[in-house]
């Protein structure tokens, strides 16, 4: 498997000398991780894959690519979001901000989730709900999955590795995956240039702006709550995973740099988030810039760049 370049000077040298090879190497490393994952799924007889990861880890793309690789191996794969199992908004407990707390596992209709997963594992069929976020209402029995031998269902969401979700499943029936940026970027002197959280924050900042019409300041305002939820509901169960997938693409600071700096430079000095924007600018500025057009159309980074 290709090594991960995780030093600023090495990344800049690779981006300058042969950027196409640098990008291919990063994409190949991630692809090889997914190939190993699919081999484990196919070889272990699991019917259900439980996939979790923090914000901007690339869960959606990872689930999609695993599904595609399973299909290429002759296995039909279905992807199910745990978000569709939320309780109706008026049934969810309020958080400290006075709004429904969608981060806590008790916001999910756990009995329904357990029923659906066990129906799939035991009987090969299950009825799925769909959550209407605009109305805050869950609609049950919207669609049905009927599994043939070898078919796989991927349940993806923040709480997928929580034992409360998996404890009622037969152990043989599920494979647990954790997806995140698991590599820091260092400087030559050993100091950290960008943390794992920094890389995810830059991804989310660009995606929020491009895909959700959200300002950088709004992303910053949410980030603390997001990290708190991850620390409480995800990270304690990280090592329940059978496999951990590191979703870093070490050329990403180079291709995200221009867009990220443009957004960060727009944060005014009067903003409460100015110092955080300045810190991220300082972290990104030393990277050699590469045009986002060099990112392959099927890359995980397209989840954030569009």
Using the predicted structure, report yes or no on whether residue 156 has a pLDDT greater than 70: yes
The per-residue pLDDT for 201 is 98
Tell me the mean pLDDT in the region 242-259: 97
pLDDT at 218 over 60: yes
Upper half-sphere CA count for residue 43 (Cβ side, 13 Å): 6
The predicted pLDDT at position 1 comes to 40
Instruction: For residue range 75-118, list pLDDT tens digits in order.
Output: 999 999 999 999 999 999 998 888 888 889 999 999 999 999 99
Q: Say if residue 2's pLDDT is above 50.
A: no
pLDDT confidence band for 3 (50 / 70 / 90): low
Q: Does 19 score more than 80 pLDDT? A: yes
Beta-bridge partners for 145:
126
> Structural domains in the chain?
8-305 (3.40.50.300)
Q: How confident is the model at residue 258 (pLDDT cuts 50, 70, 90)?
A: very high
End-to-end Cα, the chain, rounded Å: 28
What is the average pLDDT value for the chain, to the nearest integer? 94
- What percentage of the chain has pLDDT greater than the value 90? 84
CA dist., res. 103 & res. 198, Å (int): 21
């Amino acid at each position: 498997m290709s090594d991960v370049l995780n030093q600023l000077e090495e990344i800049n040298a690779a981006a300058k000398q042969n950027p196409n090879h640098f990008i291919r190497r990063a994409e190949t490393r991630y692809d090889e991780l997914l190939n190993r994952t699919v081999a484990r799924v196919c070889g272990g007889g699991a019917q259900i894959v439980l996939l979790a990861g923090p914000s901007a880890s690339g869960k959606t793309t990872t689930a999609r690519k695993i599904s595609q690789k399973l299909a290429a191996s002759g296995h039909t794969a279905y992807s199910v979001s745990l978000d569709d199992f939320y309780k109706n908004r008026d049934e969810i407990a309020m958080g400290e901000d006075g709004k429904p707390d969608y981060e806590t596992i008790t916001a999910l209709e756990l009995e329904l989730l357990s029923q659906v997963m066990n129906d799939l594992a035991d009987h090969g069929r299950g009825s799925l709900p769909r959550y209407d976020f605009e109305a805050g209402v869950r609609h049950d029995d919207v669609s049905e999955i009927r599994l043939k031998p070898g078919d796989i269902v991927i349940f993806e969401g923040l709480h997928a590795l929580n034992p409360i979700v998996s404890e009622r499943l037969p152990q043989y029936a599920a494979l647990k995956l954790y997806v995140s940026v698991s590599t820091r970027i260092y400087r030559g002197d050993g100091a950290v240039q960008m943390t794992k959280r920094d890389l995810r924050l830059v991804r989310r900042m660009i995606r929020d702006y491009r895909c959700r019409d959200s300002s950088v300041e709004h992303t910053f305002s949410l980030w603390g709550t997001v990290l708190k939820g991850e620390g409480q509901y995800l990270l304690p169960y990280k090592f329940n995973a059978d496999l951990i997938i590191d979703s870093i693409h070490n050329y990403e600071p180079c291709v995200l740099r221009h867009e990220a700096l443009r957004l960060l430079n727009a944060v005014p000095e009067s903003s409460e988030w100015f110092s955080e924007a300045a810190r991220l600018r300082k972290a990104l500025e030393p990277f050699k810039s590469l045009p986002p057009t060099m990112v392959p159309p099927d890359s995980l980074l397209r989840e954030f760049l569009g």
